[in-house]
Structure 1
Amino acid sequence: MKKLALLLAALSVASVSYAKEVMPEAAPVVEEAPVVEEVVEVKAAPVLRVTSVGQELVVENKSNANKGGYADVGEAVHLKNMVGLALGDKWTFDLMARKTWDASIDDHEAGDTKGAGMHSVGHRIDLQATRHFENFSLGLRWRGEKNQDAIFLPMTYNYGMVSGWFEPAYYFVNESKGQDKFYLEAEPVVLSYGPVQLAYYFEGTKWTGDGNATDDVKSDYVHQARLRGTVYSNDTFSVGAEYRYQFAQDVEMLNGKDGVENNRHIAVLSAAYNVTENLTVDTYYQYEFNKYEQHEGTAMDDDYYGEFGLGWSYNF
């Protein structure tokens, strides 16, 4: 038995040694590095698109129209057509084309040679391009009219509660007695708190050369304080109101004397109704009570001016 056990042990050792010699060693596993593909972002080119279209009808009227030789329904009736466009997020473009008539139901105004009805008195075309930045914008506008053309450089800024806008311009006057002029209209400072705004307004005109011989004026500068806000609003309807006080007007005549100063009071009531999410109808009425101070100019009686506007706009 001992011999048999020794024989089996020897056979076992021999088989293990043979298996080690015959069986090859396992090949090492090599892990492949992951392939990282670079993603290239392709930005779409900006597309010029229409953002809004609209129209507005504006009627201007002065008191004592017949006595003063003005049309008694509307000294000026304007019909405006407006289109807004955008190129990407930074550029906007605006087109405004306006036709103007006067309107009267009487044919006996002082100095009237046209008679009753509506008569074409002018047109205006505005083309504007604006570059928008984070807190301000810069633009360029060309204006063409019957007797004059103009170049504007509109600017705006907005830093929360403080904002403002400026529209400096130069007018090229094409009338025989007219002169080119520098023009500035602005609200340099607008303070906002909730729905209420308080603004300072300035409008100035400085004629070149000898001044405006038609009106006997060399320069005219206007200063106003403006208070406006939203009176009522909900999801579809809003009402706004504004009061403007013209606290100073500096007029220099061609002879160097001070012209008539108008310390006017102005009230504006406006409303807007959202017919749909995109379509809005709006209207306003502006009333001005003109209070004149003669200085060295020709005396003038106090009077009033009214302006009514009705329009619509569709935003895409």
Structure 2
Amino acid sequence: MRRLALLLATMGIVSAAAFAEAPVLKVTSIGQEIEIENSDGKQDVDSIFFGNMVNLSYGDWAFGLQAGKFWSYDDHDGLDSTDSRLQIDVWNKVTDNLKLGYRYRGQKNLDRHYARWDYSKDWFWSSGDVWYESNNGTPGATDNINSEFFPLGVKFGDLKIGYFVNYQKFVGDLSVAKDAKGDITGGAQEDYFEHQLRVWHPLYKGEKFFLDFEGRVSLSTSADYKDYPNGVSTKNRHYDDFGRIRLYLRPTYKVSDSLTVYGYYGYEFKDYKYENGAKRSDYHDANDNYQDIGIGWNYKF
């Protein structure tokens, strides 16, 4: 086929430049990752996720496919399968500085459709995700419109700083919230607002080994709830000002020009603000802090 195209090009039927620049769908990388998430003070492991990733490109288009499985673990029941995930990403390079994208994420009880952007020029950068989440069959759960975005980010050499916003708006029947048994627990949540400051900086750069740092600090959060049908305000909690701090260490080892292995360890400190008569004892996880551990590999073609 290639010889035919070259022959046609020499005959003037197909330009050689057009042939050389014709986009080709190709696999750019593959990888796998295990992520473990757990709150302190518990004997079990809240979530174990094993994901498989494939990335492809076609001209200015980039595609990603992730398929994975979730488990939980405790001393009594052992390892239990809890969920699965299918995720599809599509990106288009609109300009040298701007990319626009779409993501679909499907799990057992939810579907998400994302609109995404990524912009970077000189010292300034901005990125974000806005998505609609439909909850399927979860008792008391309503659909929501969610957003996580960096309206403003700056870069100074190796230092990267971003102002992060998370806004979540719940839609549907918000008159009451119910637990798994169907009992009324209060007015359902209406929205959630969080402001964070995030910082990235390399701690070590070697020939093959690298160690990076990431810090996240919640500056303020707020949450609104519907009142009970009789007008009594709903008990609730949300992170206090500066009450959520997460620190990450991210080691990376370059085995070869193509193969990289990596890991990360994150620890989150939590401090809640309780409102409308809520107390720490009302929540089974109290103020338990949180850990996020991951290890994976990536092979680039």
Q: Please indicate the TM-score interval, normalised by the length of the shorter structure.
A: 0.7 to 0.9
What are the residue-to-residue correspondences of 1:168-247 with 2, within 5 Å?
A: 168-175=130-137, 176-211=139-174, 213-214=177-178, 216-247=188-219
Partner residue in 1 for 2:72? 102
Partner residue in 1 for 2:89? 128
Distance change in 2, residues 1:82/1:40 (3 Å): closer
CA–CA distance in structure 2, aligned partners of residues 227 and 161 of structure 1: 14
Secondary structure at the counterpart of residue 264 of structure 1: strand
Contact 1:248–1:261, Cα closer than 8 Å, also in 2:
no
CA–CA distance in structure 1, aligned partners of residues 220 and 123 of structure 2: 26
CA–CA distance in structure 1, aligned partners of residues 235 and 192 of structure 2: 10
Counterpart pick for 2:119 among 146, 157, 167 = 157
CA–CA distance in structure 2, aligned partners of residues 297 and 259 of structure 1: 8
Q: Deviations over 1:237-290 (max 9, x none)?
A: 110112211111111122266831212111111110000000000001000010
Q: Deviations over 1:195-253 (max 9, x none)?
A: 11111111121110233835732211221111220011022111011221111111112
Counterpart pick for 2:236 among 259, 274, 285 = 259
Distance change in 2, residues 1:214/1:127 (3 Å): farther
Q: CA deviation at 1:299?
A: 2.0
Distance change in 2, residues 1:43/1:224 (3 Å): same
Secondary structure at the counterpart of residue 276 of structure 2: coil
Partner residue in 2 for 1:78? 49
Q: CA deviation at 1:55?
A: 0.4
Range 50-59 or range 124-133, more displaced: 124-133
* TM norm structure 2: 0.83
Contact 1:77–1:101, Cα closer than 8 Å, also in 2:
yes
Secondary structure at the counterpart of residue 292 of structure 1: strand
Contact 2:147–2:166, Cα closer than 8 Å, also in 1:
yes
Q: CA deviation at 1:123?
A: 0.9
Q: Deviations over 1:54-100 (max 9, x none)?
A: 0000001111214xxxxx2x200000110000002x10000011200
Partner residue in 1 for 2:38? 61
Distance change in 2, residues 1:98/1:297 (3 Å): farther
Contact 1:102–1:121, Cα closer than 8 Å, also in 2:
yes
Contact 2:67–2:86, Cα closer than 8 Å, also in 1:
yes
Residue type of the alignment partner of 2:149 = A
Secondary structure at the counterpart of residue 291 of structure 1: strand
Secondary structure at the counterpart of residue 18 of structure 2: coil
CA–CA distance in structure 1, aligned partners of residues 164 and 236 of structure 2: 21
Determine if the alignment matches structure 1 residue 286 to structure 2 residue 266: yes
CA–CA distance in structure 2, aligned partners of residues 259 and 62 of structure 1: 20
Q: CA deviation at 1:40?
A: 4.1
CA–CA distance in structure 2, aligned partners of residues 274 and 93 of structure 1: 24
Residue type of the alignment partner of 1:182 = I
Mark the structure with the bigger radius of gyration. Answer: 1
Higher strand share: 2
CA–CA distance in structure 2, aligned partners of residues 103 and 237 of structure 1: 32
CA–CA distance in structure 2, aligned partners of residues 225 and 198 of structure 1: 7
Contact 1:80–1:98, Cα closer than 8 Å, also in 2:
yes
Residue type of the alignment partner of 2:189 = V
Q: CA deviation at 1:296?
A: 2.3
CA–CA distance in structure 1, aligned partners of residues 169 and 197 of structure 2: 22
Structure 1 unaligned regions, length at least 5: 1-36, 67-71, 108-114
State percent identity of aligned pairs: 30
Contact 1:250–1:259, Cα closer than 8 Å, also in 2:
no
Residue type of the alignment partner of 2:261 = V
CA–CA distance in structure 2, aligned partners of residues 142 and 155 of structure 1: 15
Contact 1:62–1:305, Cα closer than 8 Å, also in 2:
yes
CA–CA distance in structure 1, aligned partners of residues 236 and 124 of structure 2: 34
Secondary structure at the counterpart of residue 260 of structure 1: strand
CA–CA distance in structure 2, aligned partners of residues 131 and 192 of structure 1: 23
* TM norm structure 1: 0.79
Structure 2 unaligned regions, length at least 5: 1-10, 180-187, 228-232, 281-285
Q: Deviations over 1:84-128 (max 9, x none)?
A: 00002x100000112000012x22xxxxxxx2x110000111111
Distance change in 2, residues 1:205/1:214 (3 Å): farther
CA–CA distance in structure 2, aligned partners of residues 295 and 223 of structure 1: 19
CA–CA distance in structure 2, aligned partners of residues 129 and 43 of structure 1: 25
CA–CA distance in structure 2, aligned partners of residues 122 and 241 of structure 1: 30
